[in-house]
């Protein structure tokens, strides 16, 4: 036998769960609303459930009289007709037909339960409502979502950046091919150093012309070496030294590029301080 | 190949005919039961 405390805990857990679920549904509905701009078919669709206006008076009367089956029939009729109209108003593919079916079911239930009409005739009235709704709404084209705005064009690379595309591809190629080759660590070290140069150049494209020879000769040479090694060539004894030299030269080039920047900054600082001094500040 | 869904009867009739037919059907099949429910 569960203790009252136990029941309390369970009740609290269930309430927490329900609250979480509601919050989740609310979020989903909000997203849906954002995705789909409101109803698009207005009065032509919302007019249809208004045919059931007598039920609005009938439902309170049935509550007072205490006729459960007629009350259920009335409520279901109104609710399903409203759902059908909402579905048609959404206007997605198949929604017009689905909404008409809901309206037909609503009419059948109203006739059969609320009005206690002979059941086969109630079913026939359901079909009649379905056809009536289709006749009135079928010509409304299925809603087509407005065409999406074309995505913003990809930023066209500047000529400087574009000229780095080839070296980057070469570096990626060497990186991918190096691991199984002989002297792989040295190859990877060299290619990392060259990657550093290319990254520096991407940040300072003004210095690209100074590094063009490096990119053309060193990187191309390294790609050719990798191709030969891939083809199964025996690496000569001088290869490790060459790779070390390539790494060192890449590091040196980076240093030089940075030095050029530093000199340019020095000059800027000097010019500006001279100007300030001339102006008597 | 899937056969297309058969068209609704009178769907290609002119608009006034469709309106009159549709409203008549709805009045008879939707409004009448609701009204009958109110007065039974």
Please check the confidence at residue A141 and state whether its pLDDT lies above 80.
no
Among residues A49, A145, A270, the alpha carbon closest in space to that of B34 is found at A49
Mean of the per-residue pLDDT values of chain A: 84
Give A133's contacts in chain B (Cβ within 8 Å).
22, 26
* Nearest neighbour of B8 by CB, restricted to A103, A128, A138: A138
Please check the confidence at residue A38 and state whether its pLDDT lies above 60.
no
* Nearest neighbour of B33 by CB, restricted to A61, A114, A131: A114
Q: Is the dihedral of CA A53, A59, A62, A68 positive or negative?
A: positive
Question: pLDDT-derived band of residue A179, with 50, 70 and 90 as boundaries?
Answer: confident
Which chain A residue has the Cα nearest residue B23?
A132
**Residue A157 has what pLDDT?**
59
**Residue A3 has what pLDDT?**
80
User: What are the φ and ψ backbone dihedral angles of A22, each rounded to 5 degrees?
Assistant: -65, -40
**Residue A57 has what pLDDT?**
94
**Residue A143 has what pLDDT?**
54
Q: Is the dihedral of CA A24, A28, A29, A33 positive or negative?
A: positive
Segments of chain B with pLDDT less than 50: none
* Residue scoring higher pLDDT (B29 or A152): B29
Tokens of B16: 């006034």
Span A16-33, pLDDT tens digits: 999 999 999 888 888 776
A87-96, A149-158, A245-254: least confidently modelled range: A149-158
Q: What is the DSSP string of chain B?
A: -PPPPPPPTTTTS-HHHHHHHHHHHHIIIIIHHHHHHHH-
Query: A136, exposed or middle or buried, with CB in 10 Å at 0-12, 13-18, 19+?
Result: buried
Contacts 24+ apart (CB under 8 A), A187-191: A187/A222, A187/A226, A187/A243, A189/A243, A189/A247, A190/A222, A190/A243, A190/A244, A190/A246, A190/A247, A190/A250, A191/A222
**Cα–Cα distance for residue pair A161/A187, rounded to 1 Å:** 25
CB spacing of B9 vs A131 below 8 angstroms: yes
- What is the ipTM score, two decimals? 0.91
Give B8's contacts in chain A (Cβ within 8 Å).
131, 134-135, 138
- Percent of chain A at pLDDT above 70? 88
**Residue A34 has what pLDDT?**
67
- Listed ranges A163-172, A212-221, B25-34; the one with the highest mean pLDDT: B25-34
Which chain A residue has the Cα nearest residue B11?
A135
Which chain B residue has the Cα nearest residue A77?
B34
- Residue spans of the domains in chain A: they are 35-137, 159-278
Interchain contact B8–A (C-beta under 8 A): yes
CB spacing of A73 vs B37 below 8 angstroms: yes
Give B4's contacts in chain A (Cβ within 8 Å).
none
Interchain contact B21–A (C-beta under 8 A): yes
**Residue A207 has what pLDDT?**
72
- Listed ranges A44-48, A55-59, A181-185, A225-229; the one with the highest mean pLDDT: A55-59
Span A231-244, pLDDT tens digits: 888 888 888 888 88
Average pLDDT value for residue range A108-124: 95
**Residue A197 has what pLDDT?**
82
* Nearest neighbour of B34 by CB, restricted to A54, A116, A135: A54
Interchain contact B40–A (C-beta under 8 A): yes
Give A48's contacts in chain B (Cβ within 8 Å).
26, 30
Contacts 24+ apart (CB under 8 A), A187-195: A187/A222, A187/A226, A187/A243, A189/A243, A189/A247, A190/A222, A190/A243, A190/A244, A190/A246, A190/A247, A190/A250, A191/A222, A193/A246, A193/A247, A193/A250, A193/A251, A193/A254, A194/A167, A194/A218, A194/A219, A194/A222, A194/A246, A194/A250, A195/A171
Span A45-81, pLDDT tens digits: 899 999 999 999 999 999 999 989 999 999 999 999 9
């Amino acid at each position: 036998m569960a203790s009252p405390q136990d029941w309390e805990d369970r009740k609290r857990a269930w309430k927490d769960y329900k609250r979480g679920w509601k919050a989740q549904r609310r979020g989903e509905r909000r997203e849906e609303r954002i995705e789909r701009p409101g109803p698009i078919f207005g009065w032509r669709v919302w007019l249809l459930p208004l045919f059931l206006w007598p039920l609005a008076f009938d439902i309170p009367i049935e509550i007072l009289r205490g006729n459960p089956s007629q009350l259920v029939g009335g409520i279901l009729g109104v609710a399903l007709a409203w759902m059908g109209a909402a579905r048609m108003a959404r206007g997605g593919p198949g929604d017009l037909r689905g909404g008409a079916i809901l309206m037909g079911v609503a009419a059948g239930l109203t006739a059969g339960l609320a009005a206690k009409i002979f059941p086969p005739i109630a079913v026939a009235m359901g079909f009649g409502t379905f056809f009536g709704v289709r006749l009135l709404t079928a010509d409304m084209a299925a809603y087509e979502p407005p065409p999406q705005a074309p995505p913003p064009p990809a930023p066209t690379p500047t000529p400087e950046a574009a000229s780095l595309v080839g070296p980057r591809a070469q570096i990626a190629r060497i990186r991918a091919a190096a691991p199984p080759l002989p002297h792989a660590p040295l190859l990877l070290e060299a290619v990392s150093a060259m990657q550093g140069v290319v990254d520096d150049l991407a940040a300072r494209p003004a210095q690209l012309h100074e590094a063009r020879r490096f990119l053309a000769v060193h990187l191309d040479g390294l790609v050719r070496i990798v191709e030969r090694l891939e083809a199964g060539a025996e690496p000569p004894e001088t290869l490790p030294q060459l790779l070390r030299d390539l790494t060192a030269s890449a590091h040196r080039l980076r240093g030089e590029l940075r030095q050029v920047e530093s000199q340019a900054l020095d000059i800027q600082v000097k010019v500006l301080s001279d100007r300030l001094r001339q102006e008597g500040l | 190949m899937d056969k297309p869904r058969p068209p609704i009867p009178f769907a290609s009739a002119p608009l006034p005919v469709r309106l009159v037919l549709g409203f008549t059907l709805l009045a008879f099949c939707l409004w009448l039961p609701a009204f009958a429910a109110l007065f039974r």
